Amino acid sequence: MDLEKQTKDVLLNAIKNYANEYSVELKDAQLMIKADDDNCTPKYQVLVHNKVKKDVTFNEILNVKIDFLGREMMVSPFISSSLRKLRREHKCSFEDINVLIYKKDNTNYPNMYFFEGTKPIKPLTFEYIFGDMK
């Protein structure tokens, strides 16, 4: 199983689902991953036009009631590790870590961008998130 590809597919499908839910174009629906505590446990939010609409669980992003495949258990450690890495690299508190996930018109995959608080810092790659797997 290619965890990186599966994660891209899940995130892109989630953006599509939330775009449909809020009747907006794909480029106007986003997901945000934040650190919920000092261990950088991931917390997820849905945004429309870059404004928070609601907090969601990983299962809601997957669009399932129960994650029989255990995808959250596989992906969350990599996300937490990446959030901790961002915190170390930028010497910021966990409260300031924000990773925006969005779809550009000309791509077939989701894009990610790191914000420290509301300040844009840098784009992120899936290699950055899953680099420890290789």
Q: Tell me the residue ranges of DSSP E strands in 49-129.
A: 51-56, 97-102, 111-116, 119-124
pTM, two decimals, is 0.91
Give strand pairing partners of 31: 46, 101
β-strands 111-116, 29-35: how paired?
unpaired
pLDDT band at 123 (very low <50, low <70, confident <90, very high): very high
Q: What percent of the chain has pLDDT over 70?
A: 97
Q: What percent of the chain has pLDDT over 90?
A: 68
User: Mean pLDDT throughout 101-109?
Assistant: 88
How far apart, in whole angstroms, are the C-alpha atoms of residue 103 and residue 112? 9
pLDDT of residue 90: 95
